[in-house]
Amino acid sequence: MIRFENVTKRYADGTTAVDNLSFEVAEGELVTLVGPSGCGKTTTMKMVNRLIEPTGGRIYVDGDDISATDPVELRRRIGYVIQQVGLFPHKTVLDNTATVPHLLGVRRATARARAAELLDLVGLDPSVYGGRYPEQLSGGQRQRVGVARALAADPPVLLMDEPFGAVDPVVRERLQNEFLALQKSVRKTVLFVTHDIEEAVRLGDRIAVYGQGTIEQFDAPAAVLGAPATPSVADFVGADRGLRRLSVTPVEPGDLEQPPVVHLDDPLPATLPGWAVVLDREGNPHGWISAGQAATARGAVREHARRMEARLPVGASLKQAFATMLQYDAGWIAVTDEENGGRFLGVLTPAGLHEALRRSTAADARDIPRDEVELETVSGR
């Protein structure tokens, strides 16, 4: 969808902002451009909609050489979201959102109806917020309006320049989550500029890590964190990249242990090796019982099962798993298959979490599937 071929941007004073850049962004892919200030990432993005013209090379959008496309028409086909949002202060939220369709000749009523749909999509009830003005919104709400406005003409490409950088960390994380959910439904081709490696890892299908005017590594987030291509990439992602990798490593069935299980209507077993997971008739986790209960109590399992708080779906990140363990002070987490009605798959323990992280890192370093990695232990097993 977006292709750079040997693109260079050199200014009159001799400064080279981007040097011989070549890369591709697939249709529906979200690529984050990350690096320190002044490295060329924003220049790269602005060349896509010709806010900055390259000195050399070619840029293609959906197969078209953009140098042969009228800049105004090009920009109307590309959504653009910036940190300052840039809403018109004299227009209502609804009219701000409908601006681009209206410029494209869409009837006002149709444009406003489309704007109302998009406001609802980004979590702003148009009946509540549509008639408000930008000054009546919080920073996070203004950012949502900015995203809705960028999507109003249904552009195939979305450019986002530090869109969540001006809000506090709590709101930023909420906006990131909402944008990821939105991207799953709209599947735009996105270039997302950020200086924050945490944000780049959290959002990107792939990450372009910049040096000075060049891309030093262009890879999946887990690969960037697990196997930095250069010393400068390693320095940028930080010594704690192993912890960051938790957020991009999913819990897989192979990471799970299989404890004893009992069912709600079973009689209490006479003995248990420590504890057991209690399942309902559909095989979904209901709770757990301890060996002490099995040894001293009588009756059916359902009469003695304890509530199970620590659980999460397979495919959730190891970071989520670790946070859940800490939240509930749990020695294990029940993992379920939500696509099959919440069926119990097994439990993830702290040791299993650690092994999953090690296996994921080794798999990327050796370019093999994660389930083929054999880990060495202290005992040599």
Q: What is the pLDDT of residue 346?
A: 95
Do 90 and 116 form a contact (C-beta atoms < 8 A)?
no
pLDDT (average), residues 358-370: 80
Q: What is the pLDDT of residue 27?
A: 94
The SS3 of residue 30 is strand
pLDDT (average), residues 50-73: 94
Angle at 181 between CA 355 and CA 98, to 5 degrees: 160
* Structure confidence at residue 204 as a pLDDT band (50, 70, 90): very high
Show the tokens assigned to 372.
């083929």
- pLDDT over threshold 80, residue 215: yes
The SS3 of residue 22 is strand
Same domain, 281 and 134: no
Tell me how far apart the alpha carbons of residues 33 and 201 are, in angstroms, rounded to a whole number. Answer: 10
Tell me how far apart the alpha carbons of residues 31 and 273 are, in angstroms, rounded to a whole number. Answer: 48
201 belongs to a structural domain: yes
CATH, residue 21: 3.40.50.300
- pLDDT over threshold 60, residue 133: yes
320 belongs to a structural domain: yes
Show the tokens assigned to 342.
């919440």
Tell me how far apart the alpha carbons of residues 274 and 257 are, in angstroms, rounded to a whole number. Answer: 14
367 belongs to a structural domain: no
Place of tokens 């397979």: 314
Same domain, 274 and 242: no
Q: What is the pLDDT of residue 296?
A: 75
Q: What is the pLDDT of residue 377?
A: 60
Q: Residue 344 belongs to what domain range?
A: 253-355
Compute CA distances 296 → 268, 271, 287, 291, whole Å. 10, 10, 18, 9
- pLDDT over threshold 60, residue 12: yes
Same domain, 266 and 163: no
- pLDDT over threshold 70, residue 289: yes
Please give the mean pLDDT across all residues of the chain: 88
Do 20 and 10 form a contact (C-beta atoms < 8 A)?
no
CATH, residue 331: 3.10.580.10
Same domain, 310 and 263: yes
16 belongs to a structural domain: yes
Which one of 246, 275, 305 terminates a domain? 246
Q: What is the pLDDT of residue 167?
A: 75
Query: Beta-carbon neighbour count of residue 131 at 10 Å?
Result: 12
* 8-state DSSP, 363: H
pLDDT digits (tens, 9 = 90+) for 243-259: 888 888 899 999 999 99
Number of structural domains in the chain: 2
Same domain, 233 and 293: no
Say what percent of the chain tops pLDDT 70.
98
Q: What is the pLDDT of residue 40?
A: 94
For 90-94, 179-183, 290-294, which range has the lowest pLDDT when averaged over its residues? 290-294
78 belongs to a structural domain: yes
365 belongs to a structural domain: no
pLDDT (average), residues 217-229: 88
Tell me how far apart the alpha carbons of residues 229 and 62 are, in angstroms, rounded to a whole number. Answer: 29
Tell me how far apart the alpha carbons of residues 93 and 115 are, in angstroms, rounded to a whole number. Answer: 9
Q: What is the pLDDT of residue 253?
A: 93
* Structure confidence at residue 39 as a pLDDT band (50, 70, 90): very high
Tell me how far apart the alpha carbons of residues 333 and 285 are, in angstroms, rounded to a whole number. Answer: 11
* 8-state DSSP, 214: S
* Structure confidence at residue 233 as a pLDDT band (50, 70, 90): very high
pLDDT (average), residues 46-60: 95
pLDDT (average), residues 210-218: 94
157 belongs to a structural domain: yes
Tell me how far apart the alpha carbons of residues 79 and 142 are, in angstroms, rounded to a whole number. Answer: 16
For 59-63, 294-298, 319-323, which range has the lowest pLDDT when averaged over its residues? 294-298
Sheet bearing 275-279, strands edge to edge? 261-263, 275-279, 285-290, 306-307
Same domain, 27 and 59: yes
Which one of 246, 275, 294 terminates a domain? 246
Show the tokens assigned to 277.
């997971």
The torsion angles phi and psi of 122, rounded to 5 degrees, stand at -95, 10
Same domain, 257 and 242: no
* Structure confidence at residue 380 as a pLDDT band (50, 70, 90): very low
371 belongs to a structural domain: no
- pLDDT over threshold 80, residue 310: yes
Which one of 219, 246, 273 terminates a domain? 246
Same domain, 152 and 46: yes
Q: What is the pLDDT of residue 86?
A: 79
Place of tokens 């959910």: 181
pLDDT (average), residues 332-359: 92
Q: What is the pLDDT of residue 379?
A: 44
Same domain, 233 and 139: yes
Pairing assessment for the beta strands 78-82 and 157-161 based on DSSP bridges: parallel
Same domain, 100 and 182: yes
Same domain, 208 and 174: yes
Do 66 and 50 form a contact (C-beta atoms < 8 A)?
yes
Show the tokens assigned to 235.
């320095």
Tell me how far apart the alpha carbons of residues 212 and 172 are, in angstroms, rounded to a whole number. Answer: 27
Q: What is the pLDDT of residue 211?
A: 92
Same domain, 151 and 279: no
Tell me how far apart the alpha carbons of residues 361 and 47 are, in angstroms, rounded to a whole number. Answer: 35
Tell me how far apart the alpha carbons of residues 291 and 153 are, in angstroms, rounded to a whole number. Answer: 62
